[in-house]
Amino acid sequence: MITLALSKGRIFDETLPLLKAAGIEVLDDPEKTRKLILATNQPEVRVVLVRATDVPTYVQYGGADLGITGLDTLIEHGSDGLYQPLDLQIAKCRVSVAVREGYDYAAAVRQGARLRVATKYVAIAREFFAAKGVHVDLIKLYGSMELAPLTGLADAIVDLVSTGNTLKANHLVEVERIMDISSRLVVNQAALKLKREPIRRIIDAFGQALGQP
């Protein structure tokens, strides 16, 4: 049996065409079923639905053989024991710094003020500001980062942006782009050895669908 870990929502939706290219069709709609293990048209392949942030953990410990996860999540989790054969070019966005409209971020940085930064992405934020030589107090949040500068919890946030509509709707502006994000295929290293043939077939089919050799 080959187990693929996916999260519901954009990653699941954008993975379907790749699965199809590999001849795999998921038999249930994750938005309609309460099942957490979904069968596919291939009796030897199943999908497990997990929280986006749990995908690397499942694959690392062998709860799933393969998984699809955002680079953001992968960096925060760390890639120990994970083989990363493909950039799937799906669920694209960027990690950015944003502040309240009217907040003079450049001046705050120039003056060497200690910035309060709220984020779910503490590893990415720590590394980014350390490289810039900016002192920050990081405040870990699990969601709705946009609220932090509006309530005085933080001066800035580090968050994912795709269209920018969420920032705009909350009177926030993007002041720095930290990195571009897309989703990655991750594979359990031991599974790759033990189930080499079927896993290779999936990696190769995804690669071909992406136009990679």
Q: What are phi and psi of 199, to 5 degrees?
A: -70, -45
Query: Taking the alpha carbons of 181, 183, 184, 186 in that order, is the dihedral positive or negative?
Result: positive
For residues 94 and 180, the answer to whether their CB atoms sit within 8 Å is yes
- Strand, coil or helix: what is 5? strand
For residue 74, the minimal CB distance to ligand PRT (Å) is 9
Q: Which of residues 94-153 bind ligand PRT (CB under 6 A)?
A: 143
Size of the residue set binding ligand PRT (CB under 6 A): 23
Under the binding rule (CB under 6 A), the answer on residue 31 touching ligand PRT is no
> Phi and psi of 182, rounded to 5°?
-145, 175
Per the CB < 8 A criterion, the answer to whether 77 and 57 are in contact is yes
- In angstroms, rounded to a whole number, what is the distance separating the alpha carbons of residues 198 and 45? 9
For the bound state, the minimum distance from the C-beta of residue 6 to ligand PRT, rounded and expressed in Å, comes to 10
Stretch in the footprint of ligand PRT (CB under 6 A) among 26-34, 96-104, 106-114, 163-171: 163-171
Residue 191 structure tokens: 């599974």
**Which range, of 9-17, 80-88, 96-104, 196-204, touches ligand PRT by CB under 6 A?**
9-17
Site membership for ligand PRT, residue 55 (CB under 6 A)? no
Choosing from 54, 65, 72, 155, the residue that interacts with ligand PRT (CB under 6 A) is: 72
Q: Which residues bind ligand PRT (CB under 6 A)?
A: 7, 9-11, 51-53, 70, 72-73, 91, 93, 143, 159-166, 181, 183
